[in-house]
Structure 1
Amino acid sequence: MEGQQTRDGTPEGVERPNLRAIAAAFTSLAALAATSLVAGPAVADTSAGPCALPRTSAHHSLGLDSWNGAFPRPERTLDAAMVFLSFPDAAPLATPDELAADHFPATSDFFRRASYGKFTLRAHPLRQWIQMPQASTAYRMKRDWDAGRRAAYLRDAITVADPVVDFSRYDIVYLVADPDAPGVDSDATKVVNFDQPLSADGTDIRRVVTVFERHPPDRNVLAHETGHVFDLPDLYHRPMDGKGDWDTHVGDWDVMGSQFGLAPELFGWHKWKLGWLDERQVRCITGGRADRMITLEALGAEPAPGMSVGTRLAVVRTGENTALAIEARGAAGNDRDTCTEGVLIYRVRNEAESGGGPVEVIDTHPGTEACWDQSVYPPLADAPLTVGEAFTVPGEQVRVEVADRTRTGAWTVKITPVA
């Protein structure tokens, strides 16, 4: 829903006697929304080509001809504050250091691998508990949280943290609740965006990550939530009644679909959006009816020292707001636990909202499934094509054939427009 670094500890801000008058900033909380944010300014992306879908007004749009300036782009080192909140109705059973270790360095390592070393997420845990003014049960935390109670929680959290945290020093704020307090619900973990930024320490706070995870937490949960901080959408399907399967859109194939996935590497399209793939690594298939032979490097494989980086993503533009993406997935990097390898095909829609199916993995083996005892959605666990297989994408007039696999583990793929 809407994460090596240093734990040099100590409060990140020097305690100050004058609490800033932040209460006025919380008047905007009446308009607070967990899944809506006023669009920021567009920042041009010169690497975008004819296959780059335009960014739309959809929340977390997967258009990537420009960047939404309301979100930090993870192309540099970003610093994250971790604030640990206790409650008067419970004595914490875990220490802040133990809870920080639940998420770091694992979350930083996830993004280091996913970005091929281009991005560093540096966590700064506050090594003390800060007590909230109300009992944990008073906030009535849950997944679909009442906006007023959520606003009260955030107001109280920023107020009690403000004397010891200098928010101007951080790009990301994680508010970590005592997981053993009786009113804490792990299902309430999410990113909260503000219609109007809050102001503290002379800086705008546009969003916070509210963490209510158990100890130990769900695997990769903070990587998922941090993805929202970078303008990535939820890729799961949420059933209207809350029952049924949530993973029918992408299965195991991206952490924004499920933090439990066997192959949680971010899709190549996401990496393109975030600036981790450049024009040399993205092949745009345009014009003509000729076959296109492409060698695709496994998306999760880190480049060998001194070796040039090959193509990671092939894209076929299928409409004004749609595209097909083709990438190779193998047992490397964040995908090291995948149960199948091969060439994955998926649709991208730039007008689909977060949680509304902006990505749909194409099941090239619709009659079978795999890894039924481990996969979050076995029907898509064997979605990739392997050597010698071909598949024509229904409705798209595109045929994809895997011709070979090289000695280095790359996949030779033939992409053919068909009448």
Structure 2
Amino acid sequence: MSRSTDPEVHVRGQQPPGGVERPRLRAGGAAFTALTALAATGLVAGPAVGASSANPCALPRTAAHHSLGLDSWNGSYPRPTHTLDAVMIFLSFPDSEPLTTPAELTADHFPATGEFFDRASYGRFDLRHHPRSEWTRMPRESGAYGIQRDWDSKKRAAYLRDAVAAADGDVDFSRYDIVYLVADPDAPGVDSDATKVVNLERPLEVDGAEIKRVVTVFERHPPDRNVLAHETGHVFDLPDLYHRPEDGKGDWDTHVGDWDVMGSQFGLAPDLFGWHKWKLGWLSHDQVACVQDPGPQVISLEPTGAPPASGGTLGTRLAVVRTGPDSVLAIEARSAIGNDADTCTEGVLLYRVRNGAASGDGPVEVVDTHPRTDACWDRSVYPPLADAPLEEGETFTVPGAGVRVEVADRTEAGSWTVKITPPAVD
């Protein structure tokens, strides 16, 4: 689902406890992302598959939709640790002659989406797209399906059935892991806010294969930046990280700001959090430091967006402190590299993760280590969190968790030396 920039002024709330121990000033700058839609009948639960990355800091997976527990993998979702094939089917309608071509709409999303995941996964995942070269004609006019953000489930089901049936003669669905249904963006009944992933309790059975979820794309031409990367993240069991106001007004980006594409497709630093990369299998326990022992622990963190060193090796990319049976504090370095090349600030980012919070309910919350300042008002989706990372020489004690994080320095190779001190145990 797309979102335009919110023109309202961002008003800061009351000063929270805690703060950086070295005073500093920051310059101040100034977005609706995709929402996973469940079919009316619900969501496929799927079997659990053991995750090799599990360690004492790995939260257990819960029944929450898109739970960020990662001690096991929900087998109803494809895990992006190898090549996955995606078919792109372009749908036209009897009431509109397309003004674009399938090739032009393909170029709106690829190779950019594939490159995003190649960088995010350190080359461990290849999203191979297979676009159809011709339009597939739907049997009904575009307005007949009632396409909109909060879509009527019966009309949405009719749209999916008609689309798959119309394409079945030309497409062998058994060859593909992911299905993108791309509607003619200029058809009168198409609403760009309706872009989303539809999860099916009862899979569609076609060509001897089961289709458990479909990405329905209704984007304008050209589309919102990174929108398909966000939607494809849902296909891999990643949650929405934005906050959706009840009245649809106000800030959507108060939870994570610019710092993950699952929060905002417009973010300046949209690379996936290190926690997401661990869940997806792109980081192993060798790249995750679990801080358990009392007393300070010094860790050298490579930026999560940096490519592997020669030979494909990765150093430590994520540090984790368990803060409860269902929560952790995650610590990672973010630099202007890879998917984060356009970030307006660099440093060590802190965020809370809760395994029992469902998609859209705040499973991740970035810790604002500079609560009195903002940054990048001309570009950031949420300036209050644009300056969230700690920089060299700064120390911050996380309110409520008691974890003390000190950034000692940044090496010539680009790694950040961090001292992490868990709270004292009585």
TM-score after normalising by structure 1: 0.91
Question: Which of 271, 280, 297 is equivalent to 1:265?
Answer: 271
Residue of structure 1 aligned with 2:95, choices 89, 93, 105:
89
Paired residues, number: 390
Deviations 1:375-403 (A, max 9, x none): 00000000000000010000101000100
| Contact preservation (8 Å) 1:34, 1:193 | no
Partner residue of 2:194 out of 188, 193, 203: 188
Cα RMSD, aligned residues only = 1.4
* Counterpart-to-counterpart distance in 1, 2:328 and 2:256: 16
Residue 133 (str. 1) matches residue 139 (str. 2): yes
- What SS does the aligned partner of 1:324 have? strand
Deviations 1:184-236 (A, max 9, x none): 00000000000111100000100000000000000000000000000000000
Distance 2:251 2:41 in 1: 21
Q: Does 1:326 align with 2:331?
A: yes
**Could you say which residue in structure 2 is the equivalent of 1:166?**
172
Instruction: Report the secondary structure of 1:160's partner residue.
Output: helix
**1:281-337 Cα distance to aligned partner (Å, 9 max, x none):** 00000132x110000000101023247421000000111100000000000000000
Letter in 2 for 1:63: G
**Is structure 2 residue 276 aligned with structure 1 residue 291?**
no
1:66-105 matches, within 5 Å, as 66-105=72-111
| Partners of 1:326 and 1:346 within 8 A in 2 | yes
What is aligned with 2:185? 179
Per the TM alignment, residue 357 of structure 1 is displaced from its structure 2 partner at its CA by 0.3
Unaligned 5+ runs, structure 1: 3-30
1:233 is matched with: 239
Deviation at 1:92, TM superposition (A): 0.2
| Higher RCO, 1 vs 2 (CA within 8 Å, ≥6 residues apart) | 2
Larger mean Cα displacement after TM superposition, 259-268 or 128-137: 128-137
Please state whether the residue corresponding to 2:161 is helix, strand or coil.
helix
> What is the letter of the counterpart of residue 50 of structure 2?
A
Asked if 2 retains the 8 angstrom alpha-carbon contact of 1:34 and 1:191, the reply is no
Contact 2:321 2:422 in 1 (8 A): no
Q: CA shift at 1:146, angstroms? A: 0.8
Residues 128 and 34 from structure 1, CA distance in 2 versus in 1: closer, same or farther, beyond 3 angstroms?
farther
Q: Would the aligned equivalents of 1:36 and 1:59 in 2 still touch at CA under 8 Å?
A: no
Match of 1:386 among 376, 391, 409: 391
Q: Flag the 1:190–1:203 CA change in 2: closer, same or farther, 3 A.
A: same
Aligned ranges 1:17-416 → 2 under 5 Å? 33=39, 36-288=42-294, 290-306=295-311, 308-416=313-421
Matched-pair contact (CA < 8 Å) for 1:139–1:152? yes
Give the C-alpha shift of residue 35 in structure 1.
9.9
Amino acid at match of 2:301: L
Alpha carbons 1:77, 1:121 under 8 Å: kept: yes
Q: What SS does structure 1 have at the residue aligned with 2:286?
A: coil
Contact 2:53/2:283, CA 8 A, preserved across alignment: no
**How many Å apart are 1:34 and its aligned residue?**
7.2
